[in-house]
Amino acid sequence: MKSFVAKVSPAQWAGLIIAILAVVFVLMNTASMKIKLFGLDLTGPQWFILLIVFVVGWLVGVLTSRRRNKKSE
């Protein structure tokens, strides 16, 4: 029986490391930030804005990988 560590692929390890680094980066940036989004001026903590961008990027990756996996079946 394989251990949990042996079941995780190198790509999954790389993704986990990148995700951890992204979260650390987000938590280190706590200043207030102003952005323009579709003509709106939004102000908020930089960590929150970075977290939103990270989550959106992650969702795009998940959605595109599902499409790729379905095409290969």
pLDDT tens per residue across span 2-57: 676 777 788 888 989 988 998 888 788 778 988 888 888 888 888 888 778 888 98
Comparing CA positions, the residue from 4, 2, 50 lying closest to residue 27 is 50
Residue 60: inside a domain: yes
Give the domain range for residue 35: 20-72
Q: Which of the two residues, 23 and 59, has the higher pLDDT score?
A: 59
Half-sphere exposure of residue 28: CA atoms within 13 angstroms, side-chain side: 6
Residue 29: inside a domain: yes
Domains: count for the chain: 1
* 10-28 vs 46-72: helix crossing angle, rounded to 10: 160
Q: Which residues partner with 42 through β-bridges?
A: 35
Residue 40: inside a domain: yes
What pLDDT was estimated at residue 28? 84
What pLDDT was estimated at residue 17? 93
pTM over 0.85: no
